[in-house]
Amino acid sequence: MSERSPTRGACLIGLLAFSAAACAEPAEEAAWTVRDSADVRVVENVRPAWMPETAWRVAEMPSLEIGVEDGEEPYVFFRVSDALRLPDGRIVVGNSGTGELRFFDPTGRFLYRAGGHGQGPGEFGEFSSIRIWGARRDVIVATDGFNNRVNFFRSTGEFVSSVRIEPIPSRTSPAIIDGFADGTWLAVGGLGPLAGAPGQIIGGSLEYSRYNPDGRPADTLFELADPRRYVHSYGGVTHYPYLPFPARPSVAAGDYWLFVGDGTTHEIERRRLDGELNSLYRWPEGQRRRAADFYDRYREADIESTREERRPLIIHYYEQDLPLPEYLPAHQGLFVDDEGYLWVERYRLPWKSQPSWEIFDPDGRWLGDIQTPERFRIFQIGRDFLLGRHRDELGVERIRVYELVRPSPPGDGRD
């Protein structure tokens, strides 16, 4: 009886292994990959990580609504510019139309108010758009842009103090737009007044800075290009409207990061608080929409939404030879929720009223998309709620809270 040849056995095993590999299903492509490029972390997303059972969803009906068209004065809102839910469930509303902070209990019952229009301690300028956020030690921060300051209140409504915002030479007055966990603030300002000859297309820049809690500038972070404008003159009036379909830059502040998008690409920058680029989040573009296909309706919608006394001006503007971008913008807003997730709002044509968002986890992984209610502007996204302002067809403003359901996170999906 002859011995088995070891060479033949090895060849047979190799042949079987090759056959099994050839018949196996190809490996599934990773949902996302991460690579390093010149010390910048680049997150390349191929597809969303959510499965149907793990996708987030927003309730169809609000769990709380505050506000009436006619009724008791504390419940009638005008120019609501921000709102915040405190840890105990109370809600603070920045009602810029009256220059007030209005406080409501968790059921929506009015409690008390603070502020009012004026220049005195704890008051707000008539044209200020109040932004509010929480700070340490039970203190609420509220911006007063018209008076170029920030006001501090206790959650009881008691005024604490004000800090004046020091302007930067050769810049327009900075607007404080958010705060960081270290107590510093994010501010934005323009780089000079608008000017140009009629018919000229002009560009501009926005400068983002970080401010110390004492109101003095700490760092100049970066500049972003403002969309191009057209210098339009008609009937003795000169104005500077953006060209159609402007791609506006977006900036959002997390506790320890800044997120920046130019509005034109499916790419978001994550920057450190000193402005240095740290990461890039990318996701597929899909089919891009040509701007020319929507121009006629865009023009009609703009004219229709303009006050009657200004319509001749806007009609004359659209009679000019206005250049169009090749494609519609990619996105129009960024928001960081209380859990550190980034929400990127897709570009929405002016006649559309329902926002859609792409969601990214704190590592930059693209989870998927979600729709939020129509005519609803988000002010805060908590672990399990959305807080914001709903404005109906008649312009009536109401504060609403919607339940946000976040099932367990999906598996890693990374190489």
CATH of the domain at 411: 2.120.10.30
Q: Which helix (H) or strand (E) holds 296?
A: helix 295-305
Residue 37: its pLDDT value, please?
A: 93
- Tell me, yes or no, whether 179 lies in a domain: no
pLDDT digits (tens, 9 = 90+) for 21-79: 444 445 556 889 999 999 999 999 999 999 999 999 999 999 999 999 999 999 999 99
The length of the chain, given as a count of residues: 415
Q: Bridge partners of 100?
A: 95, 115
- Tell me, yes or no, whether 111 lies in a domain: yes
Residue 33 identity (one-letter amino acid): T
- The torsion angle over the Cα atoms of residues 108, 110, 111 and 114, rounded to 10 degrees, is 120
Residue 371: its pLDDT value, please?
A: 97
How many domains would you assign to the chain? 1
Structural domain of 395: 50-164+373-415
Q: Which residue has the tokens 């003795």?
A: 236
Residues 6+ apart with CB under 8 A from 61: 402
Backbone angles phi, psi at 165, to 5 degrees: -90, 120
- Tell me, yes or no, whether 21 lies in a domain: no
Question: What separation in angstroms does the CA of 294 have from each of 4, 230, 263, 382?
Answer: 76, 20, 18, 36
Please name which of 268, 276, 231, 264 lies closest in space to residue 252, comparing C-alpha atoms.
Answer: 268
Q: Contact, 251 vs 186, CB < 8 A? A: yes
Please name which of 406, 405, 400, 404 lies closest in space to residue 62, comparing C-alpha atoms.
Answer: 400
Q: The whole model's pTM is what?
A: 0.89
Question: What separation in angstroms does the CA of 257 have from each of 16, 274, 275, 278?
Answer: 53, 9, 9, 9
User: SS3 sequence, 172-225?
Assistant: CCCEEEEECCCCCEEEEEECCCCCCCCCCEEEEEEEEEEECCCCCEEEEEEEEE
- Tell me, yes or no, whether 41 lies in a domain: no
Pairing relationship of beta strands 40-45 and 277-282 according to DSSP bridges = parallel
Q: Contact, 352 vs 55, CB < 8 A? A: no
Residue 191: its pLDDT value, please?
A: 72
Please identify every stretch of the chain with a pLDDT value under 70, giving residue numbers as ranges.
Answer: 1-29, 135-136, 170, 409-415
Rounded to an integer, what distance in angstroms lies between the CA atom of residue 43 and that of residue 249? 21
Task: Compute the C-alpha angle 352/353/355, nearest 5°.
Answer: 100
Rounded to an integer, what distance in angstroms lies between the CA atom of residue 296 and that of residue 64? 39
- Tell me, yes or no, whether 70 lies in a domain: yes
Residue 22: its pLDDT value, please?
A: 43
- Tell me, yes or no, whether 6 lies in a domain: no
- Tell me, yes or no, whether 356 lies in a domain: no
- Tell me, yes or no, whether 321 lies in a domain: no
